[in-house]
Chains A and B, each alone.
Chain A
Amino acid sequence: MKPVNNKSMIAFLFDQMEKLDKNEIDVQKAREQANLSKQVNNAMKYELDRAKVKMELASHNAIYKDGLDLREIESKNF
């Protein structure tokens, strides 16, 4: 499986649109690719929100001398 970041996702989607324009992929495949991409976008949005919460926690901890932390729910290696 190829690692994906947001930039590579965007490049992939532009590529798919071009392929669709040239009829190199059919509408069904384009739809499925778009649906999968939406799931990747959701995961990336989650990462963005997580980064925001970590920022807020760091600020909170600095002000209130607290040790709140965001639980790592995906730290287990498979």
Chain B
Amino acid sequence: MNNTYKGAIILLIATCFTMLSGCKKELDKDPVDILTEEILLSDPVAYTSHVAYLYSQLPFSNSFADMGRYLSYKTDELVNCTQDQNASLEPNTQWWEDGYKVIRNLNNLIEKVPGSSLFPTQEQINEAVGEIRFMRAFVYYNLAWRYGGVPIVTKVAPLPKGGDISELYSPRNTELEVFKFIETEMTEAIAMMSTAASFNEFRFNKWSALAYKSSAMLYAASIAKYGSVQLDGAVGIPQTEAAHFWEAARDAAKEVIDGGVYSLYNESSDKALNYHNLFFDKSASNKERVFVTAYVWPLKGHNFDRDAAPFNHRGGVGYGGRYCPTLEMVESYEYINDRNGALKMNSGGTPIEYADPADLFKDKDPRLFASVLFPGSPWKGTTLKIYARVIENGQEQDGNGVDGINQPEATSTGFYLSKWQDPAPPRPIDNNSSDVDRMYMRYTEVLLNYAEAQLELDNEPEARIYVNMIRNRAGIEELDGVITMDDYRKERKIELAFEENRYWDLKRWRTYDKVMNNKETYAIWPVYNKDKNVYTFRRQVLPAGKYTRNFSANLYYNRIPATEIETNPLIVQNPGY
């Protein structure tokens, strides 16, 4: 019986042990990955981490991270060798929902940062509030770009008690109201920001904020001048407002110019090299960097080299040839001394024979050499061969092999894009192996904005100065006569080519349909005559089915997402959807 009691005692001890450990509130755990709002509003490091997250969510176009969102595909600038281009020109990504998510976060910060213990001085608080208010205005600007008038939400709404979501319904403000709101907010935010000449180009500061303000005001002015008011002002801005916005754009740009913190990049006498380096030079001497999203391998890399590479220079991961500039785009580049950029392929109806295919491009605008690869371009120590046909023993054959454009992943237009492509990558091309920064706002754009506003305000001489400043830096002849709006727009197209500006410019000038519709897309077909060792070139129309693009008028505004229409009965859909 003794043993029996022993057993009972052992079990009793075990029981007590278990009970004790059970009492320790085992079910109340501390989170391992959550910061409370208290911490966020008292610890500057935690605050910065949230701001970092919000910057990463801002609606920049993102050609490096995601080919599918690259807006140049939607224009006459280039095509994708592997895809049908005849898909709708409606952008692949919607910004409505993500935009309002960021706005809610920013509203929350704007409400709480002023009363927080984050910063010791009022200046620092102002600086911080200025930054987040500008971020909010920037998001509204991006929404207005896409949708016209949108509901202006400036407060953090609680989830209605009892689930009556009708409290959350809100109608659209007019597009005018939205741009006025953007103007006021940007102005006030800029006033809160420090005027120090030293700045950080990776986040909004007084100067980059002013630069973006000039773009926003330019956009509003263009809509007023070229668009039409519909849906009681939900989209469109009355023409009477145009002058005000032109002036606002001019003044903001002028303030940047007068600030003197930026200058055009001009570090090399080789104009093509200079223009190329502009996008690669991360050093402080590059005074053209107004707003930049940084990439640092291997922490954060992108795929531009992988996707843009000429077929026979691809990395081990494949891809390549995804960005193929059109012949039309290449011919938009002028010759140094000749404003007609058409390539000289034929003479009196017979093809001109070139021993060096690069000679076809001789004397073109140096910016072409820094932006586009063509047959005969020097590339990574070799000369790029691209041919569509080979003539051997008098017989014409299809262009096979790594240099032939018959490869499904080789260029379909005869050209590759080289604007951000690294001619000497520090590492083999792989997924996310590239870390060229993406400059979203550069000083040249500010100058162009200024020139455009002056031109629209009938101050052509002032505009001409700035257009010529840019042409001069590029290395082509300056314009001496009176410059027209077409001259200006062509200059803007070339200088900012492939930087995703053209998509928005065509929209605000309301010229999208004229540029895109009923147009054929052309490629250049290099024909290599092996017998004579010469090249001839043909202008080749790309198959209509795959490369025709049509812009219907409703695309000047995006479709408001069905989720909003379905859940918020006060929202009116944009015209044509």
The answer to whether A and B come from one shared complex is no
Residues of B participating in the A interface, judged by any CB pair closer than 8 Å: none
